[in-house]
Structure 1
Amino acid sequence: MNLSATALRFDPALPWWAIAALAGLALLVAGFALWRGLRGWAWRGLAGLAAALALAGPALELGSRAGLSDIVILLDDRSASQSLPGRAGQTDAALEALETQIAALPGTELRRVTLGDDDDGTLLATALSRAIAAEPEARLAGVIALTDGRLHDPAMLPAAAPAPIHTLLTGQPQDWDRRLVIEEAPAFGLIDQEVSIRLRVEDQGAVPDDVQGRSANLRISIDGEEEQVFAVPPGLSLEMPLRLAHAGQNTVQIGFDAPASEAGPPELTDRNNAAAISINGVRDRLRVLLVSGEPHAGERTWRNLLKSDAAVDLIHFTILRPPDKSDGVPVDELALIAFPTRELFLERIDDFDLIIFDRYSVRGILPPDYYMNIARYVREGGAILVAAGPELASVESLSLSPLGPILPARPTGRVVDEPFRPQLSDDGRRHPVTTALPGAPADGAGNEAGAGDGWGRWLRMVEVTPDAQAQVVMTGVDDRPLLLLDRVGEGRVALLASDQVWLWGRGFEGGGPQLELLRRIAHWSMKEPELEEEALLADVSDGLQVRLTRRTMQPDAGPVAITRPDGTVEEVPLAEDGPGRFTGDWTAPEPGLYRLQDGDLRRVLALGPAAPREFEQTVASGEALAPLAEASGGAVLNLSEGVPDLRVVPEGRRAHGQGVAGDWIAITSRDAATVTGLERRPLLPGWAWLGLVAGLILAGWLAEGRRGSGGGGGSPMPDAPGRA
């Protein structure tokens, strides 16, 4: 600690204008004396100025200063890429050596900053800028970063720094890696139409000769199904065509096995050899064929439902004049459109997503081969919905046609003309088509007339006997089957054994969810994922938080087996969360690809990128940090060549170099200090100012007095008048 003058301060006894006026008066008097030729003019002026200065109150401000230590920032990169083989050991050894050297330097403090993982990658530039900004610029002697140089926020790097910034790179010169790069992938794709993913396989680092240029066997699968294998040469961008099979999320897995090398070390990591892409499958247009067997009160129910959906292309035919009708009108005088049976049911049938038979009777319009082709269409993935009236119980029933074997029930021949209130069966409370329908009647609500809860009543239904594999989701009179759903081959069949659903739309006795029920039936028939009765769903929230949902017609479900990216398997139990619905919460340990399985149901879940950003580029490089190191006078060195010596150099001198023992880096000595106290002392005490002013006045008086004395050198006095 030392004491030194830091500034000259003033404590005026009068306003500054008065002091200035006094100084001006002193100069005026001195000037007048000079004009009159008086010898004491200079002393008079100095006396006046000294008086003005004394009134200004000059004082010396003395400060006590204490020296401050220099600060060195040591940035320790512990992001995921630093966990690659050998890098953690290099970092630990360098940290120990540098901390020992810094501790041996007198007047030097160490600030250690540890950088971890972030969702956006390695934010080294942000951490570096914050660490520098947190320290006083006058004390910062240097920054040393232990990293692989792979940062993901280069825009945050400062253009310059007040002290040398050194980068010590981990890794080895022979490091190399091969990675998968997804250049472009669509977020949406049309079902049954090709979508393209553009990708390439890229080599980085010192690739061994026996791996250089070798093609990678690229495996591609959708939702964990059968893989396709392609040979892809490195460095070449390719368009890979895919075809989405279903609506909703389609998870595309792409990956290749790490190439083995006999001439060099293995690649750094295989975490970037795979990728997962979620593509949402959508239908371009839902193509529906509606065939009404005859005009009736509920015919427009289906038409209005389907026409209200902008995504539906509807073709609707109503059979107004069946072949057995004889009214004597010549055919060439009928203003009716001929039913294009061959085109619709043979040539173009596969273009439709759903065929609806609304009160259709077998009257010879379609020959048996056409019905057989419809059955083939269903078994190969098509869907039909039969909304039946009394004709189903007659000799013109569809069940007696070649289409009968794929229907989920057989009519008994009885039509029940009795009011009833539709009810949900046990299966209906579980099935997504009917579960949670608005206004569903409570358990045990009766069908009797006037029952007050639930939906409005219907007035007629056809008695049917369901097949063993069919699902009865709604019942009518005396719990007889009303709505039945079934799977046939790859397709779907639904049977509504009543033509009275239109009463709900008219609000009869309070009505019911007519449009919602018919919409669900139609979309289930077209295999919409949200209406699948057997499904395994996963909703991701808050990064790695997953809500597992299992929909099933069984009384229990789970646990769900989850295969992690490293191959280990864990089980997550599920708890019932409503009829046919079981849920469980699970937190993934890290981003990556996870495979979920419950029985025959499988699902692939991508949490974050399959290859985290930390593993996109893994070969160490100082390219991003080199400009900052050069601008600040620092260096970029490889730890594979050893930990450099640490020196202290004066500010402005070179901060790195190579000595006999190897490379060295330096910090700059800043010699910073702080003021610990202040003391103000008058320039002169009051009596001294008084003596100074008085002395100057006396000097002026004496100078003028000498002029009038009789001593030599003076001018003779003028002659006095003589006396006579």
Structure 2
Amino acid sequence: MNGVIFSPIVPWPVLWGTLGLIVAILGVAVWRGLAGWPLRALGAGVLLVALSGPVLRQEQRTPLSDIVLTVVDESPSQGLAGRAAQVETALAHLRGEVAALPDTELRVVRSGAGEDGTLLMGALSAARAEIPGGRLAGVIVLTDGQVHDAGPLSELPAPLHVLLTGRPEDWDRRLIVRNAPPFAIPGEEIALVLRIEDTGAVPGGLARADLRISADGGEEKVVSVPVGRDIPVPVRLGHAGQNIIRFALPEMPGELTGRNNAAVVQINGVRDRLRVLLVSGVPHPGERTWRNLLKSDSAVDLVHFTILRPPEKQDGVPVTELSLIAFPTRELFMEKIDEFDLIIFDRYRRRGILPESYLENVSRYVEEGGAVLVSAGPDYAGAESIYRSPLASVLPAIPTARVRQEGFRPGVTDLGQRHPVTSGLKQGQWGRWFRLVEVDADRGQVVMTGPDAQPLLVLDRVGAGRVALLASDHAWLWDRGFEGGGPQMELLRRLAHWMMKEPDLEEEALSARADGTGLQIIRRSLSRAVGAVEVIRPDGESQSLPLEETAPGVFEVRLDTTEPGIYRLREGDLEAAAALGPAAPREFAEVVASGAALEPVVKATRGAVWRISGGMPDLRQVRSGRSAVGRGWIGVTPRDAMQVQDVRLVPLAPAWAMLLLAAGLILGGWLREGRR
């Protein structure tokens, strides 16, 4: 800018000190009535001005053009119903209008969409940061108004206008999931709440819609539901683990898109409470290990039955002094046995406490889908072995009546390296065990062995149920950390959960994990080779992908795709489903053009929301602070920005002239006083 600036010859403190001294001297002169004090004051003032170094600043300026910033929304919803053509027509019109304004240029920024939807205001803020505030004459946004980061902007120095794409007669239908639980119990009915909403210029006669429901990509069920209100939909999960439920509506004639007519809900099927019955035949150190393992899981209800006083023990102590209530053996083993998910016999031997009929009922329980785990001690090898009971029909190994009392380190078999119960157990110098009951595994899968490759852990499927035999009662040594211990808690936890049919521990399983760029397909198998997996895409097309073994018993392949929807997988007799991305991306949740989201920002800058379908407005220049919209036109504010090309500093007067003037004034004051 042009004007006078000061560049003191001496430091400012010295200048202010000199001023104070002059004021004091003048005060004395006035007090004494000296006639020349006004001339002396003027002379001192000229001297101070000379010391302050006054110079004239002269700038050479070049005018800068004003900038009209135009942000173009290129999100996927802008590709609907001719909106892209509207944008290009509007841009051509704006270029012509801006070219007709003096010293004004148009700057165009294009913004797409991401996973979080249309972030148009973020693109606007980034573009605005690159433009000097003194040159921004106006902001024009070409969009359908469906912006997902709309909010207050920092103060704009110019009006903001929204040119809205779309047509007044547009309408759309969308499906909304109001409420869906993340977990549910398989087989129990749960209620999901959906809503079908019509927006825009909705035609008449659409009060109801056909809702299609499918689970894990299977057969669809069609129900007629009302439009415009919450709809409770009863659903039953078919299995434990991840259940994928898809809801879809048929695309109606005239609606903008069918991309928001579907919704995918993923619900994890879990057990309500895992009920475990632990039957301990005799107190021993390993009993506490089982209790600690089962009680550490808050989802497990444990019933522990310990035989402290066998029938042959005759010590004369009245039964009433040994227990408060009689243990309900008949109720547990006959009436409520089917309520248990797992029964554990820990060093149990037949002593007549559990009649043969009770054990026969346990065999039936296994055949029909139950699970029995036998943790064997020396009792399993004797005449009172639980094997010599009706349970023999389901147990996987026959005792040889020999118990080996020697130190050995448990090992994992080749089959065990592939089995999910024992695969990947932390290897190392495991501590020794000192007892093994010799057995002949006539069926089942031997996943761990003891000395001389004797079976230690045998797993088997019997009917619809599962059975496991641990031929040693020394797992507790690992729990105590003997000789460094071992993965005892992890082994027993996996074993218990495999028996309770945890989906993640199935030997033969097919699953997939979805991420932002595709599917990771995983096939678990005890076989050394598996076939190719067939992938059925959401559009119905299928392709075959070969699986590669990445770890013992684990085969994987990756499918790179970004197409959202449900993918069905098939390999042999196994089937699975996976959902990639939302069924209706956020960008297509609402597609009817509306300026409601941007209206507050527009009003704060005195701008306008203008529908392109009604014709393009003219562009005018208006003064700052005035309304920037009128009939048939929108306005931008001229900024009159300048760029300084050169700066010259010219002294107000030569130093000798200032000094001569000061001396003359002081001399005049002295002469006046002398004549008087």
2:227 is the alignment partner of 1:234: yes
Q: Give secondary structure in 2 for the equivalent of 1:677.
A: strand
Q: Deviation per CA, 1:537-570: give whole Å up to 9, x if none.
A: 44556x4465443221111246444444444445
Q: In 2 relative to 1, CA 215–591 (structure 1 residues): closer, same or farther, beyond 3 Å?
A: closer
- Contact 2:403 2:435 survives alignment (8 Å): no
Q: In 2 relative to 1, CA 32–556 (structure 1 residues): closer, same or farther, beyond 3 Å?
A: same
2:197 is the alignment partner of 1:202: yes
2:259 is the alignment partner of 1:273: no
- Contact 1:375 1:406 survives alignment (8 Å): yes
Aligned partners of 1:317 and 1:240: how far apart in 2? 43
**What is the deviation of 1:81?**
2.4
Matched letter for residue 3 of structure 2: T
**What is the deviation of 1:318?**
4.4
Q: In 2 relative to 1, CA 433–476 (structure 1 residues): closer, same or farther, beyond 3 Å?
A: same
Other-structure match for 1:722: none
**What is the deviation of 1:108?**
2.0
Q: Give secondary structure in 2 for the equivalent of 1:523.
A: helix
- Contact 1:216 1:234 survives alignment (8 Å): no
2:435 is the alignment partner of 1:462: no
Aligned partners of 1:377 and 1:351: how far apart in 2? 10
Q: In 2 relative to 1, CA 403–43 (structure 1 residues): closer, same or farther, beyond 3 Å?
A: closer
Other-structure match for 1:153: 149
Aligned partners of 1:45 and 1:306: how far apart in 2? 102
2:401 is the alignment partner of 1:415: yes
Other-structure match for 2:213: 219
Other-structure match for 2:466: 492
2:114 to 112, 118, 122: 118
Question: Which residues of 2 match residues 354-393 of structure 1 at below 5 A?
Answer: 354-358=342-346, 360=348, 370=358, 373-388=361-376
Q: Give secondary structure in 2 for the equivalent of 1:461.
A: strand
Matched letter for residue 518 of structure 1: L
Other-structure match for 1:68: 64
Aligned partners of 2:609 and 2:514: how far apart in 1? 42
1:483 to 445, 457, 481: 457
Matched letter for residue 301 of structure 2: D
Q: Deviation per CA, 1:376-426: give whole Å up to 9, x if none.
A: 4334432122345677678877667665544445x3x73344468554333
Other-structure match for 1:107: 103
Q: In 2 relative to 1, CA 275–174 (structure 1 residues): closer, same or farther, beyond 3 Å?
A: farther
Other-structure match for 1:168: 163
2:423 to 402, 419, 435: 435
**What is the deviation of 1:144?**
0.8
Matched letter for residue 553 of structure 1: L
| 161-170 or 133-142, which deviates more | 133-142
Question: Which residues of 2 match residues 191-590 of structure 1 at below 5 A?
Answer: 195-211=190-206, 213-219=207-213, 221=215, 223-224=216-217, 230-243=223-236, 249-261=241-253, 265-279=254-268, 281-292=269-280, 302-303=290-291, 305-307=293-295, 309-318=297-306, 340-358=328-346, 360=348, 370=358, 373-388=361-376, 403-408=391-396, 411=398, 414-418=400-404, 422-439=410-427, 455-456=432-433, 458-466=435-443, 470-475=444-449, 479=453, 481-497=455-471, 513-539=487-513, 543-544=516-517, 547-557=520-530, 559-570=532-543, 572-589=545-562
Q: Deviation per CA, 1:140-189: give whole Å up to 9, x if none.
A: 1111111111122223434x522121111122222222222223333444
Q: Deviation per CA, 1:477-515: give whole Å up to 9, x if none.
A: 765654332334443222345666567668888876554
Matched letter for residue 226 of structure 2: P
| 371-380 or 342-351, which deviates more | 371-380
Aligned partners of 1:48 and 1:341: how far apart in 2? 118
**What is the deviation of 1:373?**
4.4
How many pairs align? 670
Q: In 2 relative to 1, CA 103–573 (structure 1 residues): closer, same or farther, beyond 3 Å?
A: farther
Aligned partners of 1:699 and 1:333: how far apart in 2? 132
Aligned partners of 1:343 and 1:511: how far apart in 2? 39
Q: Deviation per CA, 1:266-299: give whole Å up to 9, x if none.
A: 34232452133344x5445421112345677866
Q: Deviation per CA, 1:423-481: give whole Å up to 9, x if none.
A: 4333222101122334579xxxxxxxxxxx88545343232422xxx333234576565
**What is the deviation of 1:69?**
0.5
Matched letter for residue 333 of structure 2: F
For structure 2, the residue ranges without an aligned partner over 5 or more in a row are none
Other-structure match for 2:635: 666
1:675 to 637, 644, 653: 644
Using the size of structure 2 for normalisation, the TM-score is: 0.82
2:126 is the alignment partner of 1:130: yes
Q: Deviation per CA, 1:199-238: give whole Å up to 9, x if none.
A: 3222222222132x213415153x4566665543222224
**What is the deviation of 1:534?**
1.9
Q: In 2 relative to 1, CA 679–349 (structure 1 residues): closer, same or farther, beyond 3 Å?
A: same
Q: In 2 relative to 1, CA 563–90 (structure 1 residues): closer, same or farther, beyond 3 Å?
A: farther
Q: Give secondary structure in 2 for the equivalent of 1:554.
A: coil
Q: Deviation per CA, 1:63-108: give whole Å up to 9, x if none.
A: 1111010011110112232233422332233234323443454422
Matched letter for residue 487 of structure 1: R
2:617 is the alignment partner of 1:644: yes
Matched letter for residue 668 of structure 1: T
Matched letter for residue 414 of structure 1: T
Aligned partners of 1:11 and 1:511: how far apart in 2? 85
**What is the deviation of 1:371?**
5.1
Q: Give secondary structure in 2 for the equivalent of 1:208.
A: coil
For structure 1, the residue ranges without an aligned partner over 5 or more in a row are 442-452, 709-724
- Contact 2:42 2:665 survives alignment (8 Å): yes
- Contact 1:558 1:598 survives alignment (8 Å): yes
Q: In 2 relative to 1, CA 428–165 (structure 1 residues): closer, same or farther, beyond 3 Å?
A: same
Measured on the aligned residues, the alpha-carbon RMSD in Å equals 4.6
Aligned partners of 1:306 and 1:41: how far apart in 2? 106
Aligned partners of 1:504 and 1:41: how far apart in 2? 108
Aligned partners of 1:54 and 1:359: how far apart in 2? 111
**What is the deviation of 1:128?**
2.2
- Contact 1:126 1:156 survives alignment (8 Å): no
1:178 to 173, 179, 192: 173
Aligned partners of 1:416 and 1:538: how far apart in 2? 46
2:629 is the alignment partner of 1:629: no
Aligned partners of 2:431 and 2:6: how far apart in 1? 94
- Contact 2:195 2:231 survives alignment (8 Å): yes
Q: Deviation per CA, 1:609-644: give whole Å up to 9, x if none.
A: 332222222211101212222332321112223443
Aligned partners of 1:132 and 1:478: how far apart in 2? 78
